[in-house]
Amino acid sequence: MQTHDEEMEGYLKGFIPRAIRPLEQEQRSRNFWPRRLAAAAVIVLAGGLCLWVTRREAERVPLKPLIAELQRSIPSSHKPLSTFLLTKLALDDNKRLDAVLTEESRRVLPSLQGQESTLRVFAGE
């Protein structure tokens, strides 16, 4: 054990300690303002472009569909009604909405009256 310690000390004596030099501080580049200004300009231009595209699309879409068009499309169609049409109908004419929903429920839901009604099937079991 003693020989290992002596060998290790002999090995460590081979190293020469040096003085530690002070850390170098990295110099800040003086041209960091143009980068910030360029980034701000890109952000402003992207925001302006988004606003322009949004406004342009908003001008193309009519905000108020014609009520006559809504009334023609709702009673005659047997396709699923869109949420927009139902909302518009609810805001404009509540009684008409109730009639449309009643008609749809009769068409979609199973019948509870008649010889082959759902209630008779359950009552038979």
What are the sequence ranges of the domains in the chain?
A: 33-63, 64-125
d(CA 23, CA 91): 73
d(CA 14, CA 9): 9
Over residues 12-71, the pLDDT tens digits come to 888 888 888 888 887 776 777 888 899 999 999 999 999 988 887 666 655 555 555 555
pLDDT of residue 40: 95
Look at 96 and 59; give whichever has higher pLDDT: 96
Report CA Rg, the chain.
40
d(CA 22, CA 62): 71
Look at 108 and 45; give whichever has higher pLDDT: 45
Over residues 31-47, the pLDDT tens digits come to 778 888 999 999 999 99
Q: What percent of the chain has pLDDT over 90?
A: 12
